[in-house]
């Protein structure tokens, strides 16, 4: 029996159609978020894996709906899907494999429903995204979209009935991760008219959005990239030192995520203005070493 089938058994997912629903989400996450799936498969306790996969699939699908296509199409697609999710959470019924898996996981982990409802209520901030004038605008976006999206998964990994410290630590983590994404994905985002670095920050380095869109790899652009990458690293390092985030079996996964993000930040910093031509990836050897070390820690925690 495969490790995935054993995980479904351990999670109590036994009905054949429901197992197929989770299989679909596993295939999606393994294809679109390969490193994240590998880390989850290696590090999570088996009963937790299918539920984290389902929550990750919801986050990925929501991103696609909110980001893909002309705005009227995105607005319509999101409204339709949001309505279907809300109905399914109330009735337990859906024709969508993703939503059926989500409903089952919220039954196993009721705290996820709170995270889902918060996400559904605030995710339209992504539809309105057109860049940031100030750092304060960026921070507001974190609270309205990035953090609720991340909490879809993190709510399953954190302590039940936590006192707010876990969520605060998650915000520190996602601040670093989101800032890193915005600078590392410049080459992908700029042709779509998206720029996640605030205008206020561009002005501090005498860089314009036109400079970035036209691929001007100047010294000023390099300094801008280095500044934003280092700001991301500061948050990621701080998150990595927070015991509420990184202890226990599930904390091993979050610690590995932080370490891989830091490897990505190092690669982005080294590429500098070259990020205008393509994003940086964490080194394969370093990523493998991180995951293997985390796997040893996870086994030690479970003993």
Average pLDDT of the chain, as a whole number:
95
3-state secondary structure of 158: coil
Which of the residue ranges 29-33, 179-183, 191-195 has the most confident prediction, judged by mean pLDDT? 179-183
In the prediction, which pLDDT does 33 show? 87
Tokens of 60: 């990925």
Query: Rounded distance, CA 254 to CA 166, Å?
Result: 12
pTM of the predicted model over 0.85: yes
* pLDDT of 160: 79
The pair of three-digit structure tokens given for residue 33, joined into one six-digit string? 């978020």
Tokens of 40: 């989850």
CA distances from 268 to 83, 176, 225, 232, 276 (A): 39, 13, 8, 11, 11
Cβ contact 24:98 at 8 Å: yes
Please give the full DSSP string across 213-269, using - where no structure is assigned.
Answer: HTT---HHHHHHHHHHHHHHHHHHHHHHT-HHHH-HHHHHHHHHHHHHHHHHHHHHH
Integer Cα distance of 44 and 251 in angstroms: 9
Range name among 93-97, 185-189, 296-300 with the lowest pLDDT average = 296-300
| Cα 150 from Cα 59, distance rounded (Å) | 8
Given this model, what pLDDT does residue 107 score?
A: 96
Q: Which residues 6+ apart lie within 8 Å of 239 measured at CB? A: 169, 172, 173, 176, 245, 246, 258
Closest by CA to 182, choosing from 235, 240, 119, 219, is 235
| Average pLDDT estimate for 26-39 | 92
Spatial neighbors of 59 by CB under 8 A, at least 6 apart, are: 149, 150, 152, 153
The arithmetic mean of pLDDT across residues 43-66, rounded, is: 96
Per-residue pLDDT at 300: 76
User: Tokens for 116?
Assistant: 């889902």
The percent of residues in the chain predicted with pLDDT above 90, rounded, is 89
CB 36 within 8 A of CB 257: yes
Buried b or exposed e, range 26-62, using 16+ CB within 10 angstroms:
bebbbeebebbbebbbbbbeebbbbbbbbbbbbbbbb
The yes-or-no verdict on residue 302 having pLDDT over 70 is no
Residue 210 exposed, middle or buried by CB count within 10 Å (0-12, 13-18, 19+): exposed
Q: Give residue-wise pLDDT tens across range 116-174.
A: 999 999 999 999 898 999 999 999 999 999 999 999 999 999 987 767 899 999 999 99
Looking at residue 192, its pLDDT comes to 87
Tokens of 21: 């629903």
Q: What is the mean pLDDT of residues 257-269?
A: 98
């Amino acid at each position: 029996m495969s490790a995935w089938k054993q995980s479904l058994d351990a999670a109590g997912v036994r009905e054949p159609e429901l197992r197929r629903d989770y299989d679909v989400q596993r295939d999606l996450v393994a294809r679109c978020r390969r490193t994240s799936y590998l880390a989850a498969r290696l590090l999570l306790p088996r009963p937790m894996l299918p539920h984290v996969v389902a929550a990750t699939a919801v986050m990925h699908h929501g991103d696609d709906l909110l980001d893909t296509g002309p705005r009227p199409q995105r607005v319509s697609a999101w409204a339709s899907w949001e309505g279907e999710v809300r109905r399914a959470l109330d009735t337990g019924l859906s024709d969508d494999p993703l939503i059926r898996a989500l409903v089952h996981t919220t039954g196993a982990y009721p705290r996820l429903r709170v995270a889902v409802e918060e996400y559904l209520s605030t995710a339209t901030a992504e539809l309105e995204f057109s860049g940031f004038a100030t750092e304060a605008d960026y921070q507001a976006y974190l609270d309205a979209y990035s953090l609720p999206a991340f909490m879809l998964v993190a709510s399953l990994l954190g302590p039940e009935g936590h006192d707010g410290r876990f969520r605060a630590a998650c915000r520190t983590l996602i601040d670093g991760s989101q800032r890193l994404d915005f600078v590392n994905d410049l080459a992908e985002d700029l042709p779509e008219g998206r720029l996640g670095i605030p205008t206020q920050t561009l002005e501090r380095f005498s860089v314009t959005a036109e400079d970035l869109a036209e691929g001007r790899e100047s010294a000023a652009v390099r300094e801008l990239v280095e500044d934003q990458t280092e700001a991301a690293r500061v948050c990621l390092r701080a998150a990595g030192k927070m015991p509420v985030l990184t202890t226990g079996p599930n904390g091993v996964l979050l610690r590995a995520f932080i370490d891989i993000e830091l490897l990505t930040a190092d690669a982005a910093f080294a590429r500098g203005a070259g990020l205008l031509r393509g994003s940086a990836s964490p080194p394969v050897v370093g990523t493998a070493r991180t995951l293997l070390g985390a796997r040893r820690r996870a086994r030690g925690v479970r003993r």
